[in-house]
């Protein structure tokens, strides 16, 4: 890994185009969207796209999700056979549809099952296995330290901790005291995750937790250059200037081209809509542009509208 900044796995977001972009803009590693361990879903189009790492630099990380130890082990083997160089286990997703089948962060309620899954997956593959967790199920059951010790015992080689319980969802501020406690309890690398949206916050969280690295998720949506900003600040102590409109358009246009190529134009145009919204949300005054992009049915219409708007922004900035 080139550095200690990792793009977090996010369903519907960290596809190959976005992972590639974040790697180019400073992320040391990028984790795939979670892939179900259910065997009947292994050959669906959605799953095939999620495990598509063609052209990506290593290490190629695939995150698997499920609640059955044997299925999780089989999924780990299947994905390593397909080229995964690291298997990441999801015990952090708070989504109701995942927790309702006792997977994701719901597993934190059953430490015996956690142990069985960890042992099964680590034993099933020769590549490194990592784990992503939350601090616990709710504020009365913060068991991240116990789970981290189990993970180390069974051979998990790194751990990412999101500083919220499952009950928190994404509400409130992440607390990193638990991350610090996890780091003190184990000798394997620990990544801190949650509410790291600036270079200054990155340095603060590293100092507060003693973590070995950072995992960045939602803060990278529409701002994939955040990895470059954090990396520069940690290495040099100075802030990079914010990208100007032409620089943002250069990044966004590359992202759009890859989305259209990866998904095909019909689906790519639709996937692009949410990404464009994230790119534009901090710029202001772009409500009509967002509506125009969302109405577009062709990639050329989306890019033409965006190119004209960013060109106008560049001229205004230069005036």
Residues with a known catalytic role: 93
How far is it, in rounded angstroms, from Cα 5 to Cα 24?
Answer: 12
How far is it, in rounded angstroms, from Cα 9 to Cα 32?
Answer: 5
Burial 117-151 (b: 16+ CB within 10 A, else e): bbbbbbebbebbbbbbbbbbbeeeebbbbebbebb
Residues 41, 155, 177, CA angle at the centre, nearest 5°?
95
Strands 158-162, 61-65: pairing is: unpaired
Q: How many CB atoms lie within 10 A of CB 76?
A: 25
Q: How many CB atoms lie within 10 A of CB 277?
A: 15
For residue 171, which of 208, 223, 218 has the smallest C-alpha distance? 218
């Amino acid at each position: 890994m080139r550095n200690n900044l990792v793009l977090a796995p996010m369903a519907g977001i960290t596809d190959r185009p976005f992972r590639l972009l974040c790697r180019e803009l400073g992320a040391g590693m990028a984790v795939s969207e979670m892939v179900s361990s259910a065997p009947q879903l292994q050959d669906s189009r959605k799953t095939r796209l999620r495990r598509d790492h063609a052209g990506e630099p290593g290490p190629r990380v695939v995150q698997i999700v499920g609640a059955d130890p044997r299925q999780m082990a089989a999924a780990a083997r299947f994905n390593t056979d397909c080229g995964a160089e690291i298997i990441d286990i999801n015990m952090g997703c708070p989504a109701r549809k995942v927790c309702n089948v006792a997977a994701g962060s719901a597993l934190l309620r059953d430490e015996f099952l956690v142990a069985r899954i960890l042992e099964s997956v680590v034993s099933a593959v020769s590549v490194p296995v990592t784990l992503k967790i939350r601090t616990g199920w709710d504020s009365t059951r913060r068991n991240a330290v116990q789970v981290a010790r189990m993970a180390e015992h069974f051979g998990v080689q790194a751990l990412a901790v999101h500083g919220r319980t499952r009950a928190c969802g994404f509400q409130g501020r992440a607390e990193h005291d638990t991350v610090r406690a996890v780091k003190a309890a184990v000798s394997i690398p620990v990544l801190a995750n949650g509410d790291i949206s600036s270079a200054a916050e990155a340095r603060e969280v590293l100092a507060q937790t003693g973590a070995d690295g950072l995992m960045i998720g939602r803060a990278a949506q529409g701002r994939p250059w955040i990895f470059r900003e954090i990396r520069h600040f940690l290495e040099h102590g100075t802030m990079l200037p914010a990208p100007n409109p032409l620089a943002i358009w250069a990044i966004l246009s590359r992202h759009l081209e890859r989305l259209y190529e990866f998904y095909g134009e019909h689906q790519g145009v639709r996937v692009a809509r949410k990404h464009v919204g994230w790119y534009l949300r901090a710029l202001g005054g772009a409500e009509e542009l967002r509506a125009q992009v969302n109405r577009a049915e062709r990639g050329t219409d989306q890019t033409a509208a965006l190119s004209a708007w960013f060109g106008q922004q560049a001229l205004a900035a230069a005036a």
